């Protein structure tokens, strides 16, 4: 296959995943929450098991007027939803789906690239908060900045632990080095990474930057129509990205029966299983207060991640 054609196929595949997988997760969230909380609407829209709920949401967002506040910085205000989405698209390029090079762009420093790009997300929060010219948006943005900058540290430390264990920063290399007993050895790092990842994508119970009972809708208060839908899409893409990284780093990625033939399927199954847990946590736990959120980060997750890093270093030296 010519290089240019191979490149086009890889890019189209990633863009398709970027557009389709979040919609699947969004539909699944409607159904899971409907069952867990007894919600009637998502179970009846479109008759058969509420299949049209996501379509109805899309039509609703398209019909809404795109409004920008009179005092807003319009360029920054309109650019923020794109900045929220774009980093996740770049991350998907580096996540391996299966063995034998089944990845859009394999990088020797893939883990470093992924963590660096994920850090751009805080810019979208600050841009939308400041440009909205709204006090609720500004408060939500400041909360978001504090939360994202704080939880970056345990996220990076937990990822560093598994990278040290594998001896590589390549994401496919980490999956190839993974062994089943890592489920126990790297379990603390996996928990830290998963919890910090939830905070990074601002999913409940880590949704203090939105906190609709206090801040209307935080940094998204002034957004309407498709721009608001882009922020929601970014949230669902974030679920896919965090679930995929958790799968690749800690759950063995494509490892499973008939991995050479069905490795891509095992990766997708694990990603959707982790996504289900993320949805389940939203339904099951109340929102953390700001002091609880920061205490969890600095007094629990960071020490635990550092202890796991020391343990990993000791095991690598002794073996």
Q: Is the pLDDT of residue 49 over 80?
A: no
pLDDT for the residue numbered 1: 66
Which of 291, 129, 284, 121 has the alpha carbon at shortest distance from 216?
Answer: 129
pLDDT for the residue numbered 223: 84
Q: Is the pLDDT of residue 113 over 80?
A: yes
User: Among 9-23, 51-65, 92-106, 174-188, which stretch is predicted with the lowest mean pLDDT?
Assistant: 51-65
Q: How far apart are CA 8 and CA 1, in angstroms?
A: 11
pLDDT tens, position by position, 64-86: 777 777 777 788 888 888 888 88
pLDDT for the residue numbered 303: 94
Q: By three-state DSSP, how is residue 102 classified?
A: strand
Note whether 172 and 178 are within 8 A (CB): no
pLDDT tens, position by position, 144-173: 888 888 899 999 999 999 999 998 999 999
How many other β-carbons are positioned within 10 Å of the β-carbon of residue 59? 11
pLDDT tens, position by position, 167-196: 899 999 999 999 888 888 899 999 999 999
Half-sphere exposure of 51 (CA within 13 A, CB side): 3
Q: Which residues contact 297 (CB under 8 A, 6 or more apart)?
A: 150, 151, 153, 154, 196, 199
CA dist 87 → 41, 91, 134, 250, 311 (Å): 33, 6, 26, 22, 32
Q: How far apart are CA 194 and CA 301, in angstroms?
A: 11
Q: How far apart are CA 160 and CA 168, in angstroms?
A: 10
Q: Is the pLDDT of residue 282 over 80?
A: yes
Mean pLDDT, to the nearest integer, of 188-206?
A: 91
pLDDT band at 91 (very low <50, low <70, confident <90, very high): very high
pLDDT for the residue numbered 66: 77
Note whether 103 and 91 are within 8 A (CB): no
Q: How far apart are CA 224 and CA 233, in angstroms?
A: 14
pLDDT for the residue numbered 5: 81
Q: Chain-wide mean pLDDT for the chain?
A: 86
pLDDT tens, position by position, 211-254: 776 677 778 888 888 888 888 888 899 999 999 999 999 998 88
Note whether 141 and 126 are within 8 A (CB): yes
pLDDT for the residue numbered 272: 93
Q: Which residues contact 173 (CB under 8 A, 6 or more apart)?
A: 166, 167
Q: How far apart are CA 278 and CA 88, in angstroms?
A: 17
């Amino acid at each position: 296959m010519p290089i240019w054609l191979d490149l086009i196929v890889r890019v189209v595949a990633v863009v398709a995943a970027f557009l389709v997988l979040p919609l699947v997760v969004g539909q699944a969230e409607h159904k899971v929450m409907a069952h867990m909380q007894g919600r009637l609407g998502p179970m009846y829209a479109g008759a058969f098991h509420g299949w049209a709920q996501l379509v109805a949401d899309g039509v609703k967002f398209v019909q809404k007027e795109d409004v920008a506040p009179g005092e807003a910085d319009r360029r920054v205000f309109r650019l923020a939803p794109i900045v929220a989405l774009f980093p996740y698209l770049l991350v998907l390029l580096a996540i391996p789906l299966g063995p034998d090079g089944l990845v859009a762009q394999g990088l020797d420093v893939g883990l470093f690239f992924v963590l660096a790009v994920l850090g751009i997300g805080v810019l979208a929060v600050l841009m939308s908060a400041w440009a909205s010219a709204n006090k609720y948006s500004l408060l939500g943005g400041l909360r978001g900045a504090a939360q994202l900058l704080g939880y970056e540290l345990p996220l990076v430390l937990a990822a560093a632990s598994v990278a040290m264990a594998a001896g590589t920063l390549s994401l496919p290399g980490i999956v190839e080095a993974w062994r089943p007993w890592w489920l126990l050895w790297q379990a603390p790092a996996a928990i830290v990474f998963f919890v910090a990842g939830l905070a990074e994508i601002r999913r409940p119970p880590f949704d203090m930057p939105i906190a609709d009972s206090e801040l209307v809708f935080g940094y998204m208060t002034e957004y309407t129509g498709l721009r608001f839908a882009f922020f929601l899409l970014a949230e669902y893409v974030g679920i896919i990205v965090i679930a995929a990284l958790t799968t690749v780093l800690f759950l063995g990625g494509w490892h499973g029966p008939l991995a050479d033939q069905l490795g891509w399927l095992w990766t997708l199954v694990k990603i959707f299983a982790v996504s289900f847990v993320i949805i389940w946590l939203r339904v099951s736990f109340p929102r953390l207060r700001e002091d609880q959120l920061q205490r969890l980060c600095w007094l629990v997750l960071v020490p635990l991640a550092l202890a796991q890093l020391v343990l990993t270093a000791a095991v690598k030296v002794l073996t």
